[in-house]
Amino acid sequence: MTKKRLSIFASGSGSNAEKFFEYFQNHPQIEIASVFTNNKSAGVIERAQRFNIKHHVYNRSFWQTGETIVEVLESEKIDFIVLAGFMLLIPKALVARFPNRIFNIHPALLPKFGGQGMYGMNVHKAVKAAGETETGLTIHYVNEYYDEGAIIFQESCTINPTDSAEEIAAKVLRLEHKNYPKVVEQEVLKSI
Protein backbone atom coordinates (compact mmCIF):
# COMPACT_ATOMS: atom_id res chain seq x y z
CA MET A 1 0.00 0.00 0.00
CA THR A 2 1.32 3.48 -0.82
CA LYS A 3 1.67 5.73 2.19
CA LYS A 4 -0.42 8.87 2.61
CA ARG A 5 1.83 11.83 1.97
CA LEU A 6 1.71 14.92 4.18
CA SER A 7 3.25 18.32 3.60
CA ILE A 8 3.86 20.70 6.50
CA PHE A 9 3.48 24.49 6.10
CA ALA A 10 5.27 26.58 8.73
CA SER A 11 6.50 30.16 9.05
CA GLY A 12 8.55 30.09 12.24
CA SER A 13 10.49 27.93 14.63
CA GLY A 14 8.84 24.70 13.56
CA SER A 15 8.74 22.90 16.91
CA ASN A 16 5.38 21.36 15.99
CA ALA A 17 6.72 20.40 12.56
CA GLU A 18 9.60 18.58 14.25
CA LYS A 19 7.13 16.56 16.34
CA PHE A 20 5.59 15.38 13.05
CA PHE A 21 9.01 14.48 11.61
CA GLU A 22 9.70 12.35 14.70
CA TYR A 23 6.25 10.81 15.04
CA PHE A 24 5.94 9.68 11.42
CA GLN A 25 9.59 8.71 10.87
CA ASN A 26 8.87 4.96 10.67
CA HIS A 27 5.10 5.02 10.28
CA PRO A 28 3.69 2.22 8.11
CA GLN A 29 0.90 4.28 6.50
CA ILE A 30 1.84 7.97 6.63
CA GLU A 31 4.94 9.94 5.68
CA ILE A 32 6.03 13.58 5.83
CA ALA A 33 6.98 14.36 2.24
CA SER A 34 7.90 18.05 2.34
CA VAL A 35 7.83 21.40 4.10
CA PHE A 36 6.64 24.71 2.66
CA THR A 37 7.48 28.07 4.18
CA ASN A 38 7.02 31.74 3.32
CA ASN A 39 10.03 32.73 5.45
CA LYS A 40 13.58 32.03 4.30
CA SER A 41 14.87 32.47 7.89
CA ALA A 42 12.32 30.13 9.48
CA GLY A 43 13.75 27.68 12.02
CA VAL A 44 11.65 24.94 10.40
CA ILE A 45 14.15 24.83 7.48
CA GLU A 46 17.05 23.67 9.67
CA ARG A 47 14.75 21.14 11.36
CA ALA A 48 13.63 19.74 7.98
CA GLN A 49 17.24 19.49 6.79
CA ARG A 50 18.15 17.57 9.94
CA PHE A 51 15.43 15.01 9.13
CA ASN A 52 16.31 14.96 5.43
CA ILE A 53 12.94 16.37 4.43
CA LYS A 54 12.68 18.49 1.31
CA HIS A 55 11.65 22.14 1.81
CA HIS A 56 10.30 24.91 -0.41
CA VAL A 57 10.44 28.65 0.22
CA TYR A 58 7.84 30.77 -1.59
CA ASN A 59 7.51 34.50 -1.22
CA ARG A 60 4.28 36.31 -0.48
CA SER A 61 3.17 36.71 -4.12
CA PHE A 62 3.20 32.93 -4.69
CA TRP A 63 1.02 32.51 -1.62
CA GLN A 64 -1.55 34.99 -2.91
CA THR A 65 -2.86 32.90 -5.81
CA GLY A 66 -1.60 29.50 -4.73
CA GLU A 67 -1.54 28.10 -8.29
CA THR A 68 2.19 27.36 -8.38
CA ILE A 69 1.95 25.82 -4.94
CA VAL A 70 -0.91 23.54 -6.02
CA GLU A 71 1.22 22.39 -8.97
CA VAL A 72 4.16 21.55 -6.70
CA LEU A 73 1.90 19.73 -4.23
CA GLU A 74 0.40 17.71 -7.08
CA SER A 75 3.81 16.86 -8.49
CA GLU A 76 4.79 15.56 -5.02
CA LYS A 77 1.53 13.59 -4.79
CA ILE A 78 0.58 15.23 -1.48
CA ASP A 79 -2.62 13.94 0.14
CA PHE A 80 -2.88 16.20 3.21
CA ILE A 81 -1.47 19.54 4.37
CA VAL A 82 -0.63 20.34 7.99
CA LEU A 83 -0.32 23.99 9.04
CA ALA A 84 2.08 24.26 11.96
CA GLY A 85 2.53 27.92 12.84
CA PHE A 86 1.81 29.06 9.28
CA MET A 87 0.98 32.77 9.29
CA LEU A 88 -0.51 33.52 5.85
CA LEU A 89 -4.08 32.96 4.71
CA ILE A 90 -4.35 29.76 2.65
CA PRO A 91 -5.31 30.74 -0.92
CA LYS A 92 -8.78 29.72 -2.16
CA ALA A 93 -7.26 27.55 -4.91
CA LEU A 94 -5.55 25.42 -2.29
CA VAL A 95 -8.63 25.05 -0.09
CA ALA A 96 -10.64 24.03 -3.17
CA ARG A 97 -8.05 21.44 -4.20
CA PHE A 98 -7.72 19.97 -0.66
CA PRO A 99 -11.21 20.10 0.88
CA ASN A 100 -11.11 18.76 4.46
CA ARG A 101 -7.51 17.82 3.81
CA ILE A 102 -5.81 20.80 5.42
CA PHE A 103 -5.33 20.86 9.20
CA ASN A 104 -4.49 23.84 11.38
CA ILE A 105 -3.54 24.19 15.02
CA HIS A 106 -4.48 27.29 16.95
CA PRO A 107 -3.04 28.07 20.39
CA ALA A 108 -6.36 28.92 22.10
CA LEU A 109 -9.86 27.55 22.53
CA LEU A 110 -11.57 28.71 19.31
CA PRO A 111 -13.87 30.47 18.57
CA LYS A 112 -12.31 32.62 21.29
CA PHE A 113 -9.09 34.46 20.42
CA GLY A 114 -9.08 33.58 16.71
CA GLY A 115 -9.06 35.54 13.47
CA GLN A 116 -6.60 37.71 11.57
CA GLY A 117 -3.67 38.93 13.67
CA MET A 118 -4.29 36.27 16.30
CA TYR A 119 -1.17 34.16 16.09
CA GLY A 120 1.65 33.10 18.38
CA MET A 121 2.27 35.39 21.36
CA ASN A 122 -0.49 37.80 20.30
CA VAL A 123 -2.97 35.10 21.26
CA HIS A 124 -1.43 34.40 24.67
CA LYS A 125 -1.14 38.12 25.50
CA ALA A 126 -4.83 38.61 24.62
CA VAL A 127 -5.81 35.59 26.74
CA LYS A 128 -3.84 36.98 29.68
CA ALA A 129 -5.26 40.51 29.23
CA ALA A 130 -8.80 39.11 29.20
CA GLY A 131 -8.21 37.47 32.58
CA GLU A 132 -9.12 33.99 31.32
CA THR A 133 -8.82 31.12 33.81
CA GLU A 134 -8.26 28.51 31.11
CA THR A 135 -6.88 28.27 27.61
CA GLY A 136 -5.77 25.40 25.38
CA LEU A 137 -5.40 24.34 21.80
CA THR A 138 -7.72 23.76 18.88
CA ILE A 139 -7.09 21.53 15.87
CA HIS A 140 -9.45 22.23 12.98
CA TYR A 141 -9.93 21.87 9.25
CA VAL A 142 -9.04 24.90 7.17
CA ASN A 143 -11.48 26.85 5.05
CA GLU A 144 -11.07 30.24 3.34
CA TYR A 145 -11.28 32.23 6.56
CA TYR A 146 -8.78 32.47 9.41
CA ASP A 147 -9.53 29.96 12.17
CA GLU A 148 -13.12 29.16 11.10
CA GLY A 149 -13.10 25.60 9.74
CA ALA A 150 -14.76 22.68 11.55
CA ILE A 151 -13.17 21.83 14.89
CA ILE A 152 -11.68 18.34 15.24
CA PHE A 153 -10.10 18.45 18.72
CA GLN A 154 -9.62 20.75 21.69
CA GLU A 155 -7.86 20.35 25.02
CA SER A 156 -7.71 22.92 27.78
CA CYS A 157 -5.28 23.82 30.55
CA THR A 158 -5.60 26.01 33.62
CA ILE A 159 -4.16 29.51 33.82
CA ASN A 160 -2.94 30.62 37.23
CA PRO A 161 -3.40 34.32 37.98
CA THR A 162 0.39 34.69 38.28
CA ASP A 163 1.14 33.03 34.89
CA SER A 164 2.82 35.36 32.40
CA ALA A 165 1.87 35.26 28.71
CA GLU A 166 5.15 33.36 28.13
CA GLU A 167 4.20 30.76 30.74
CA ILE A 168 0.78 30.37 29.16
CA ALA A 169 2.46 29.92 25.76
CA ALA A 170 4.74 27.18 27.15
CA LYS A 171 1.79 25.27 28.66
CA VAL A 172 -0.15 25.41 25.41
CA LEU A 173 2.86 24.42 23.29
CA ARG A 174 3.35 21.31 25.44
CA LEU A 175 -0.29 20.35 24.76
CA GLU A 176 0.20 21.01 21.04
CA HIS A 177 3.26 18.76 20.82
CA LYS A 178 1.46 15.99 22.70
CA ASN A 179 -1.67 16.03 20.54
CA TYR A 180 -1.15 17.40 17.04
CA PRO A 181 0.58 14.44 15.31
CA LYS A 182 -1.78 11.91 16.95
CA VAL A 183 -4.95 13.80 16.01
CA VAL A 184 -3.77 14.19 12.40
CA GLU A 185 -2.84 10.50 12.31
CA GLN A 186 -6.36 9.52 13.40
CA GLU A 187 -7.99 11.75 10.78
CA VAL A 188 -5.71 10.57 7.95
CA LEU A 189 -6.25 6.91 8.85
CA LYS A 190 -10.04 7.45 8.59
CA SER A 191 -9.49 8.25 4.90
CA ILE A 192 -7.75 4.95 4.16
Residues that bind ligand GAR (CB under 6 A): 10, 12-16, 84-85, 105-107, 119-120, 123, 173, 176
What are the CB-based long-range contacts (under 8 Å, 24+) for 154-161? 154/109, 154/110, 155/179, 156/109, 158/133, 158/134, 159/127, 159/128, 159/132, 159/133, 159/134, 159/135
Active site residue 106: yes
Write b or e for each residue in 80-119: b if 16 or more Cβ atoms lie within 10 A of its Cβ, otherwise e: bbbbbbbbebbbeebbebbeebbbbbbbbbbebbbeeebb
Between 10 and 81, CB nearer to ligand GAR: 10
Is residue 122 a known part of a binding site?
no
Between 3 and 51, CB nearer to ligand GAR: 51
CB of 75 to ligand GAR, least distance (A): 26
CB of 172 to ligand GAR, least distance (A): 6
Cβ contacts of 156 within 8 Å, gap of 6 or more:
109, 134, 135, 136
Between 3 and 112, CB nearer to ligand GAR: 112
Is residue 16 a known part of a binding site?
yes
CB of 119 to ligand GAR, least distance (A): 3
Catalytic residue among 55, 56, 106, 140: 106
Q: Please identify the residue of the shown chain whose CB is closest to the bound ligand GAR.
A: 85
Residues annotated as catalytic (active site), given as ranges: 106
Binding-site residues from annotation for (6R)-10-formyltetrahydrofolate: 104
